[in-house]
Amino acid sequence: MGAPIDLSGTHLPVTTPFDATTGDLDVAAFRDNLRRWFEHPVRGILIAGSTGESVFLDDEERRTLVEAAADVVPDDRAVIAGTGAESTRQAIRLTKEAAAAGADAVLVSPPAYYRGAMTPVVLERHFRAIADASPVPVLVYQVPLRLSTIELPAALVGTLSGHPNVVGIKDSRGTVEGVTELVGATRDDFQVLVGSGAVLHPALEVGAAGGIVAVGLMATAEAAEVPIAHAAGDADRASALQARIAPVHQRIVGGMGVPGVKAALDLLGLAGGPLRPPLAAVGEDRIAEIRTILREADLLEGVPA
């Protein structure tokens, strides 16, 4: 089992750049993005999450990304790898491979294809088996409910929090009420991380440890500073930063998904690049809208036009 890990603060669910010609991973662009993001006080990254087009990545690509990140990410920051799978056996294998490649922790989404059969008892058995086998700490992933997934009962998460190797949850439902319920249902040292940049500061105020927020890919300095200001007791600054990044989350991350995020990264001088089919790029009208959103949040200052 993994050693204890502190996941407080802001983490980034990083995108996966692909080569425009071959469609293969663009590892050089991936590393370049990481170097840019880690110029700011983010606490870590999530590889192969929803924003990273995880369902389109093969096993070798997942390993390659973790290995590439381990070369770039500072030693005092965390590399979290998404290792959810429909079968318990495959999730355990992906988890062990991620740990061997350099991941500090793993994020495990619930199996949802046979949704009707995924009772709390079945899900508890699934997550416990993975946590028992994992060489690194495990976080449960409450996937955004707009995707094909299951809503995990707070009581189930509370039970799983009793496992010494289940150290936290990424809750991407986007409600402060949901975070509050999870904080109340889990052990004191269990780390609830919010997945919505629209509620990062309010979630911290009700007991969340931090967040894994895609808005931080675009507003990195601002998203990273929210938990820092909160921890320093500067609620006014945290609130002001939250007000600045919330529309970027709501209109780009929530409103356009991965295609919008990748287009925004291109506008910001990072490597967004193509999506992996069947996902398709946004149109020119959307790109104009994204540019306006970024400009209104003062995120395009200093970026070449």
Beta strand 191-194 pairing with 44-47: unpaired
What does the buried/exposed string (b/e) look like for 92-123 if buried means 16 or more CB atoms within 10 Å of the residue's CB?
Answer: bebbbbbbebbbbbbbbbbbeeeeeebeeeeb
262 has catalytic annotation: no
- DSSP conformation class of 46: E
Q: 300 in helix, strand or coil?
A: coil
Nearest-angstrom CA–CA distance, 138 and 3: 11
Please pick, among 128, 170, 230, 251, the residue that the annotation labels catalytic: 170
Beta strand 210-212 pairing with 138-142: unpaired
First to last CA, the chain: 49
Q: 133 in helix, strand or coil?
A: helix
> Token pair for residue 64?
């390659």
Q: In three state form, how does the secondary structure of 68-108 look? A: HHHHHCCCCCEEEEECCCCCHHHHHHHHHHHHHHCCCEEEE
Write the CA distances from 62 to 58, 72, 269, integer angstroms: 6, 16, 25
CA 70 to chain centroid: 17
- DSSP conformation class of 162: T
The answer to whether the beta carbons of residues 249 and 196 sit under 8 Å apart is: yes
> Token pair for residue 143?
């996937």
Q: Which residues are catalytic?
A: 170
